[in-house]
Amino acid sequence: MKQFCTTIFYLLLFVQSYGQQLLKDVYGTNASTLDVANAVNISGVVYYTASSEKGTLLYKTDGTPSGTVLLDMTAIGDYIQSPTNLTNFNGSLIFLAHKRGSGYSLFKTNGSITGTTELFNTASGNSYMNVLGVLNNVLYFSFLQDSTGVELWRTNGTAAGTYMVKNINLGSADSNPKSFKVIGTKAYFQANNGVNGAELWRTDGTATGTVMVKDINTGVLGSYPDHFAVVDTTLFFQATNGANGCELWKSNGAGTVLVKDIHAGGVGSTPSNLQVLNNQLYFTAYDSVSTRLWKSNGTALGTQVVKDSLRHVTNPVVFNNQLFFVASEGLKGFELWKSDGTSAGTTLLKDISPSSGAYDEETFGSNPGFTVAGTTLFFFANDGFNGRELWKTNGTTAGTALVKNIADSTVSSYFETNATFAFGNKIAFMRASSPNDAYEMWVSDGTSAGTVLVKSLNLSLGLELARVVPMALGTSVLFTAYSSASGFELYRTDGTQANTTLVKDMNTETVNSSVNSFGRVVHFNNATFFTANDGKWGTELWRADSTAANASLYADFTKNTSESLGHSAGATAFSTYFNNFTVFQNELYWMVNGRYLWKTNGETAPTKVFDTFAPTTQKVLFATLNNELYFLSNGLYKSSQSGFYKITDKITGAPARSYSDADSSVKMIAYKGFLYFAAQGSDSTGVELWRTNGTDSATTLVKDINAGMASSMPYGFVVYKDTLYFIANTDSAGYELWRSDGTAVGTKLVKDIYVGPASSFRRNPYFEESYGALIIYNDKLFFRASDATNGTELWQSDGTAAGTGLVKDITLGTGGSNPFSLVTFKNELYFLANQQLWKSDGTAAGTQLLKSTLFSDYRMTKGDSSLYLNAYESSPAPSLQHKSYELYRSDGTNSSTLRLTDIDAGIRNSSPQLVSTHNGRVYFSAYRADVGREFWSMRPECPQEYIFSNPGETTASGAIHRFKVMNRIEAANLLQTNTDVFYQAGKSVEFKPGFEVKAGAVFKALIEGCGTD
């Protein structure tokens, strides 16, 4: 007879969130459902899946409506469906999903379009994945590939670092790795090689280091090792050797032995609930008498029953450095016990139901629902008088008491004990009055008064079938609930009825702060930091929460002339100049006045961490290498455990530039274990290409590209095909495309595009890189360049001279279209040329003007699902209203490239600047006549208006178009045959000359604004 170890698994869901709000009706229909078991919290953002007729898709939320968005996967494929196995790995989300046309793939994302990459494609419609654990900063998982079956895989978060460790069960058969436990530099797991059955294996991450530890049950049946626990460097587990049944075993990797045959013979004791307390193993096991509490030091003699008189021990949990569990003794029923590991120290905590008899399970039922919240252990019990209700204990008899008789009678409440979870010092749980009633959310702080129904969702909101999302978010509780109008959707609560309300649908907000034209905007830890001058403090750093209506001064860094470097603002205020920002180890760093390095966690007051003692007006560059922060200003510095220090005296400064340039210009870049950067050295070679690994000796000049004292001014660094590419200047060839393998010999000119000393790239590197100097797209480099024949146009390169060529001569002749602001978006390349929006697939035929009426000469900003532009729209209509610079957005189609808002109504320009996106909102500075230039934010999915002003503008045939705005839609467009168009506006839908509906088109209009449907 084949022997297995059998156990029952209980899933505890841990969650949190504030003020109950409908975060977002994801699909707007009653067909959506949320997969509450498929969710993960990464740095305050919860990723989860939701399903409707559109399929199962991946979403993220920060707990606000605007921060609850569908992840745009278009950068890695046009149809990514059915994501599963959502896993937090080093701050990124790893997940398995189906990619149309290519089967299932493993993906990694940081929540943004550009931060989403494909790690491995199975090329199969079959899928299986089970995350096992992390060893040596590598994620291990069991994974199905048709050719190898389910085997052990690993990933370090890169495509190159994602591969099968070993085909343990050769061919396409499954080895099914499971029960993963790390000890030191190795991990132990269960696997089946097809010869020995399911046995104990270990791995160091290599194929040769992945071996079977021992064939415990000799032959093909396997021992099925499971329920792993580690004490010091010893692994304990249950297994069967075929002779003794399922018993307790141990292994240190060198020796694997049976600890004790607790239940002699072939039946086995089935050790379960393995717990480690004070460096000793505790577990429950059946020893022919009953299931009792045992302890073991790893020897047969030291494996003993803790207290002989106890029977039917279940649900042990560690709390207050003791074990708490349910057990019966003598004629008493099941009661609450505690133990310090000794027989004398194992005592009845409280006889909760004195009237219960032996083997009476009524007191606790099948699961007491033990949940630790702060210094309190909560559970559910029936004392025979109040029915089954919520109880608590602090570990003492006096402190063990009924929290509240919710039913207010002897009738028991009904609880989902597997869905009880802690948040802070409170717990949340689901309760129903009867098995046939819907479960609703309750919260308790351990007092009767503080044990309250969050809100009667069924009666007040039309919701029922509430369920828990297994996630904490801040100090709140996330849960899903069902309504006939919306289906299952996501809600949140702080446990009070007052804060159990629908979120207010805000559209635009002004921040009461005058933002100067040279400001910085940084989004960090659910807050927005920006530099502004309010006329009182000079230019300083301000902070706005994502939900705040107003911003506040974060800190005044410059209070006197000596700190200001001579940059004053008025008689009493001195302005601060901020030389760059960066995020490192979840803290925000920035340089003040070219001298002082500051940091903050975003919540507390900022801290000055370093003084260079040498103020500079040069650009300050930040970069990370090997988990250390570097910055380059008037020298090269890096972090250490004791603080920051100067690495070398060989570097005297970064390339000179003014404070007012954009932050995204010249940079340092990591490549092959070094940081590469442009710097002025102490060897009189000008500004050239340098590299460092953080030591003085290894900080070296890579090559004197522009020989002598002249500078090559390298910039635009990008790693492409394992080679460093950049733009650099020589006296003989001007600014051209270069490549380097990190050696002087391997640092070469790719091609002299503009033959001779004239430059094919602009001589101002700060302009070029701010506007997309070198962009990787479709496995090629794209850039703007000039030659003597075509002027400045769009070029591409595969890294060779022969493979470097013109993509398209947009403006014929030598004038050039002057493309700039190159960005990749939805698997295409977008750029501005002749001040108009273009897109390209990398071919001349596929390089096309997106919208002929739209003009912009400002850099684009890429958001999660849209491009944003400071633009105006030309129209043959007599009205001048649409010729002012305002904020536009584009999804990559003509019909959905539209104005978001008219901040300064009429012909005046609001000229949006500093455009950025964060948590589903767009932030920008804009001018309005009555308030001047201020800082604004808005929800882009609900713009103020849409204007279709070109009589020749059409909608694509066979497409479905839906436009929703707060105020009005003005339509003068052509609706082609077989299109389905729906206009929805809060105030008016106006049809202008030129509006035409072709036969077969479907058109609808509705007066109803965003957020009301």
Residue 140 has pLDDT above 80, yes or no: yes
Reported as half-sphere exposure (CB side, CA atoms, 13 A), residue 523 has a value of 14
pLDDT in tens, 912-940: 877 877 766 787 777 776 666 777 777 67
- Report whether 940 contacts 946 (CB < 8 A): no
More confident residue, 422 or 439: 422
Nearest to 198 by CA among 163, 171, 238, 145: 238
Residue 508 has pLDDT above 70, yes or no: no
pLDDT in tens, 771-780: 557 899 999 9
Least confident segment among 154-168, 236-250, 350-364, 504-518: 504-518
Residue 32 has pLDDT above 50, yes or no: no
Average pLDDT on 619-627 reads 85
pLDDT in tens, 704-732: 999 888 888 898 899 999 999 999 999 99
- Measure Cα distances from 156 to 40, 90, 92, 162 in Å: 19, 9, 11, 7
pLDDT in tens, 372-383: 988 999 999 888
According to CATH, the topology of domain 460-564+577-611 is Lipocalin (2.40.128)
Confidence class for position 804, pLDDT limits 50, 70, 90: very high
Confidence class for position 534, pLDDT limits 50, 70, 90: low
pLDDT in tens, 356-365: 654 455 667 6
User: For 770, phi and psi rounded to 5 degrees?
Assistant: -60, -25
DSSP secondary structure string for all residues of 820-877: EEEEEETTEEEEEETTEEEEESSSSTT-EES-TTEE--S--EE-SS-EEEEEEE--SS
Handedness of CA 383, 388, 390, 393 (dihedral sign): positive
**What pLDDT is attached to residue 141?**
94
Residue 509 has pLDDT above 50, yes or no: no
Average pLDDT on 533-555 reads 70
Residue 162 has pLDDT above 90, yes or no: yes
- Domain ranges within the chain, ordered by starting residue: 460-564+577-611, 612-818, 840-955, 974-1007
Give me the amino acid identity at 503: V
SS3 419: helix
Least confident segment among 337-341, 359-363, 391-395: 359-363
Most trustworthy range by pLDDT among 74-78, 521-525, 547-551, 791-795: 791-795
- Measure Cα distances from 798 to 10, 236, 541, 718, 752 in Å: 55, 55, 43, 13, 15
pLDDT in tens, 876-917: 433 333 447 788 889 898 888 888 777 766 556 777 877 877
Residue 8 has pLDDT above 60, yes or no: no
Q: Determine the Cα–Cα distance for residues 347 and 367; give it in Å rounded to an integer.
A: 20
Confidence class for position 473, pLDDT limits 50, 70, 90: low
**What pLDDT is attached to residue 455?**
55
Least confident segment among 129-138, 530-539, 597-606: 530-539
Q: Percent of the chain having pLDDT more than 70? A: 75
Strand partners, 690: 677, 701
Q: Determine the Cα–Cα distance for residues 352 and 364; give it in Å rounded to an integer.
A: 10
- Those residues whose C-beta lies under 8 Å from the C-beta of residue 427, and which sit 6 or more positions away, are 371, 373, 378, 420, 421, 443, 444
CB neighbours (10 Å) of residue 843?
Answer: 11
Residue 633 has pLDDT above 70, yes or no: yes
pLDDT in tens, 756-767: 988 888 755 444
- Measure Cα distances from 870 to 105, 513, 619, 948 in Å: 37, 21, 26, 18
pLDDT in tens, 675-713: 999 988 877 678 899 999 999 999 999 999 998 888 888
- Report whether 948 contacts 971 (CB < 8 A): yes
Least confident segment among 269-283, 626-640, 784-798: 626-640
Average pLDDT on 751-757 reads 92
Nearest to 912 by CA among 943, 935, 896, 941: 935
Q: Percent of the chain having pLDDT more than 90? A: 34
- Report whether 479 contacts 466 (CB < 8 A): yes
Q: Domain spanning 612-818: which CATH class is it, in words?
A: mainly beta
User: What kind and span of H or E run contains 11?
Assistant: none
Confidence class for position 860, pLDDT limits 50, 70, 90: confident
**What pLDDT is attached to residue 255?**
92
